[in-house]
């Protein structure tokens, strides 16, 4: 079984634009926490559903490079909850005063999103927060077995300055 040292992966990412573009933010924290070896890499399928062709090509190129350096790249199906109740409630709690005082400083869509948390009750927030905490515990257990999870940073490529 081939194992991959952080230094070797980091050096490869530095020399490969596609890999550097999508993976640098993942590798540095892992290496900094004392993780020295990657035996296998997991590609989270959830994040690949709606990728722009240019982004998909870059991620595939990065995975091709990494695939030559590790024993195996696995596809992984993640069940990611889509409920955003906690996010909406916390966003509203944080921004409500400023939105009420100076709504003109916000774009209309931002105000709409912030206000989407207005009618969330404390009981609903607590219930959803407990569910989210359970998901965090499940994720911690999951990452005890996973060396590296590869996901695209964004589903669309950045536009140029002239766009």
Could you read off the pLDDT of 64-79 as tens digits, one per residue? 877 776 777 777 777 7
- Give the model's pLDDT for residue 48: 79
* pLDDT tens readout for residues 54-108: 888 888 887 787 777 677 777 777 777 788 999 999 999 999 999 999 999 999 9
Confirm whether 15 is domain-assigned. Answer: yes
- Mark whether 92 and 29 lie in a shared domain: no
Domain residue limits at 42: 4-79+145-150
- Mark whether 75 and 89 lie in a shared domain: no
For residue 117, pLDDT over 80 is answered with yes
- Mark whether 95 and 36 lie in a shared domain: no
How many domains in the chain? 2
H-helix or E-strand spanning residue 106: none
Note if the pTM is more than 0.95: no
Confirm whether 58 is domain-assigned. Answer: yes
- Give the model's pLDDT for residue 25: 47
Reported as a pLDDT band with limits 50, 70 and 90, residue 151 is confident
User: Cα 86 to the chain's mean position, in Å?
Assistant: 18
CA atoms of 115 and 85, how far apart (whole Å) = 12
């Amino acid at each position: 079984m081939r194992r991959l040292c952080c230094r070797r992966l980091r050096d490869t990412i530095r020399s490969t634009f596609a890999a550097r573009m999508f993976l640098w933010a993942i590798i540095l924290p892992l290496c900094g926490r004392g993780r020295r070896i990657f035996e296998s890499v997991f590609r989270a399928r959830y994040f690949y559903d709606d990728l722009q062709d240019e982004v998909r090509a870059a991620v595939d190129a990065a995975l091709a490079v990494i695939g030559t350096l590790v024993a195996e790249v696995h596809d992984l199906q993640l069940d990611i909850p889509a409920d955003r109740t906690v996010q909406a409630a916390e966003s509203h709690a944080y921004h409500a005063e400023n939105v009420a005082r100076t709504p003109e400083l916000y774009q209309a869509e931002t105000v709409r999103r912030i206000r989407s948390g207005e009618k969330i009750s404390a009981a609903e927030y607590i219930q959803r927060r407990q569910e989210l905490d359970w998901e965090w515990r499940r994720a911690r257990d999951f990452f005890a077995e996973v060396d590296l999870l590869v996901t695209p940073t964004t589903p669309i490529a950045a536009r140029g300055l002239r766009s």
